[in-house]
Amino acid sequence: MATMKDYNNDVTPNWCPGCGHFSVLRALQVAAAKLNIPKESLVVTTGIGCSGRLSGYMSAYGFHGIHGRSLPVAQGIKLANKDLTVIAAGGDGDGFAIGLSHTLHAIRRNIDVTYIVLNNQVYGLTKGHTSPLSQKSFQTKSSPYGSVEAPIKPGILALANGAGFIAQGYSAYQEQLIDIIVKAIQHKGFSLVNVFSPCVTYNKINTYQWFREKLVDLDKQDGYNTNDYQCAMNTLVETDCLCTGIIYEEKGASYIDLVQEKSALPLTKLDLRLTSQEFSRLFEDFK
């Protein structure tokens, strides 16, 4: 049986001491161990920002892409080899600024990929700029009078666009976060895990204490039904999206189930070489 250490490559993370991302990394490693995923069958893709370093701290296949492009890479990998467990990770900008369209289309395609958003409501790597998830009036060096833009609500956005699995975690609620990631990976189809991961250096508003006072734990709400779409939407609105746990889950056919035969081999196992005759025939079309 695998352990968390099996997914630790001994590279020391250079996040700021106290950063919530440490807990997200550990939760992913423990979740992979609980599911006993072979390291050679696990791929983690990331984009740019503090969250982009996560793939480099995992003992598994990793791909550190450009800003906002962790999801296209993850989808391509899954389509090429459906036998792999593919995790995409990104920050506020990756998922909801330059990468927003990729997030929306990944949701509607329902490709079997788990997307973990490390949400600290600020751009940490660029020294504290506002992000699409920063709350109104949030002050930074580049917005000294406070942000005037309304923040995107990841849960509401995903639910409105048909996501089949939506959950939110919090770095300090480690056991719940591990359980969420396990269930997100097990879900057949696209799964979104939005993790509140405080930035201790550049966000002095949305602190650990702030989240402890604001967050509603859905696991402790009697009668909460994760299969009820309207209940999920009402809960997100009523809590201003400040809730943790599995918010909504709907089982359905994934993209690959719909476009590939179950017995079809992954592209990586097919012989895609062309014979000289086949190549000549294809070349004729371009004359």
Classified as helix, coil or strand, 53 is helix
pTM of the model: 0.92
Classified as helix, coil or strand, 131 is coil
d(CA 165, CA 111) in angstroms, rounded, equals 12
pLDDT mean for each 10 residues of the chain (287 residues):
93 95 98 97 95 95 92 95 96 92 96 97 88 93 91 97 97 98 97 97 96 97 95 97 98 88 78 87 82
Q: Which residues pair with 123 in a beta bridge?
A: 129
Residue partners of 108: CB distance under 8 A and separation at least 6: 161, 162
Strand bridging mode 165-170 / 114-119 = unpaired
Classified as helix, coil or strand, 4 is helix
Extract the tokens encoding 124: 């940490």
d(CA 245, CA 28) in angstroms, rounded, equals 16
d(CA 37, CA 132) in angstroms, rounded, equals 34
Q: What's the confidence (pLDDT) of residue 194? A: 98
Extract the tokens encoding 213: 């006072």
Q: Which residues pair with 195 in a beta bridge?
A: 118, 169
Extract the tokens encoding 45: 């893709």
Among 89, 80, 79, CA closest to 58:
89
Task: Locate the domains of the chain by residue range.
Answer: 4-261
60 CB-side CA count, 13 A: 33
The DSSP call for residue 151 is: P
Of 1.10.10.10, 3.40.50.970, 3.30.365.10, 3.40.50.1000, which CATH number belongs to 4-261? 3.40.50.970
Question: Which residue is listed with tokens 């719940």?
Answer: 176
Q: What's the confidence (pLDDT) of residue 93? A: 87
Contact (CB, 8 A) for 191 and 110: no
Residue partners of 224: CB distance under 8 A and separation at least 6: 218, 231, 235, 245
d(CA 215, CA 54) in angstroms, rounded, equals 25
Q: What's the confidence (pLDDT) of residue 283? A: 84
Q: What's the confidence (pLDDT) of residue 52? A: 93
Q: Where are the alpha helices (DSSP H) in the chain?
A: 21-34, 70-80, 92-96, 100-109, 154-160, 174-186, 208-214, 229-238, 255-259, 276-284
d(CA 82, CA 95) in angstroms, rounded, equals 23
Among 233, 148, 248, CA closest to 193:
248
d(CA 150, CA 131) in angstroms, rounded, equals 11
